[in-house]
Amino acid sequence: MAATASFWSGKSVFLTGHTGFKGSWLGFWLSAMGARVTGYALEPPTTPSLFEAAALRDRLHRSEIADIRDRDRLAAALSAARPDIVIHMAAQPLVLRSYRDPVETYATNVMGTVHLLDAVRRIDSVRVVVNVTSDKCYENREWVWGYRENEPMGGRDPYSNSKGCAELVTAAFRQSFFPPGDSPVALVSGRAGNVVGGGDWAEDRLVPDLIRAFLDGRPAVVRNRHSTRPWQHVLDPLHGYLMLAEAAWTEPATHAEGWNFGPAEGSARPVHWVADRLASLWGDGAAWVDNSGPAGPHENRFLALDCSKARQRLGWAPRWDLAETLARTVEWYRAYGRGQDIPALMSAQLLAYNEARPAV
State the chain's mean pLDDT as an integer: 94
Note the Cα 306 to chain centre separation in Å: 17
Q: From first to last of its 360 residues, what are the pLDDT tens digits of the chain? A: 789 999 999 999 999 999 999 999 999 999 999 999 999 999 999 999 999 999 999 999 999 999 999 999 999 999 999 999 999 999 999 999 999 999 999 999 999 999 999 999 999 999 999 999 999 999 988 777 889 999 999 989 999 999 999 999 999 999 999 999 999 999 999 999 889 999 999 988 999 999 999 999 999 999 888 888 889 999 999 999 999 999 999 999 999 999 999 998 778 899 999 999 999 999 999 999 998 565 566 566 678 899 999 999 999 999 999 999 999 999 999 999 999 999 999 999 999 999 998 876
pLDDT of residue 2: 85
Please tell me the number of Cα atoms within 13 Å of 255 on its side-chain side.
26
In a domain, 3, yes or no: no
260-316 pLDDT, tens digit per residue, is 999 987 788 999 999 999 999 999 999 999 985 655 665 666 788 999 999 999 999
76: in domain: yes
Range of the domain at 351: 9-355
Does residue 201 form part of some domain? yes
- Asked, for residue 97, whether it belongs to a domain, the answer is yes
Half-sphere exposure of 90 (CA within 13 A, CB side): 32
Q: Which among 98, 143, 112 has a CA at the least distance from the CA of 41? A: 112
Bridge partners for 38 per DSSP: 14, 62
**Could you tell me where the beta strands, DSSP code E, fall in the chain?**
12-16, 36-41, 62-65, 85-88, 128-132, 186-191, 195-196, 220-222, 228-230, 232-233, 258-260, 268-270, 288-290
| Calpha distance 254→247 (Å, rounded) | 9
Task: State the pairing for strand pair 268-270/228-230.
Answer: antiparallel
Q: Which helix (H) or strand (E) segment is 237 a member of? A: helix 235-250
Supply the CATH number for residue 135's domain. 3.40.50.720
Residues above pLDDT 90, as percent of the chain: 87
Q: Residue 197: inside a domain, yes or no?
A: yes
Pairing of β 62-65 and β 85-88:
unpaired
Residue 131 and residue 169 in contact, taking contact as beta carbons nearer than 8 Å: no
In terms of phi and psi (left: phi > 0; alpha: psi -120 to 50; beta: otherwise), the region of 351 is alpha
Question: How many domains is the chain built from?
Answer: 1
Give CA angle at 276 (92, 46), nearest 5°.
25
CA–CA dist 271, 255 (Å, integer): 35
Q: Which of 304, 118, 327 is nearest to 194 (CA)?
A: 304
- In tens, the pLDDT along 128-176 reads 999 999 999 999 887 778 899 999 999 899 999 999 999 999 999 999 9
Q: What per-residue confidence (pLDDT) applies to 358?
A: 86
What local confidence, expressed as pLDDT, does residue 360 receive? 62
Look at residue 293 in the predicted model and tell me its pLDDT: 60
Q: Determine, yes or no, domain membership for 327.
A: yes
Distance CA 141, CA 36 (A): 42
- DSSP secondary structure string, 39-75? EEEPSPSSSS-HHHHTTGGGTSSEEEE--TT-HHHHH
Cα–Cα distance list, 302 to 3, 147, 153, 189, 345 (Å): 30, 11, 16, 22, 33
DSSP 217: T
Evaluate whether residue 1 is within a structural domain: no
Q: Does residue 360 lie in a domain region?
A: no
- Give the pTM: 0.96
| Integer angstrom CA distances of residue 277 from 97, 271, 318, 325, 351 | 27, 10, 20, 11, 25
The span from the first CA to the last CA of the chain, in angstroms, equals 15
Of 313, 103, 291, 119, nearest to 206 by C-alpha is: 291
Residues 6+ apart with CB under 8 A from 219: 213, 287, 288, 289
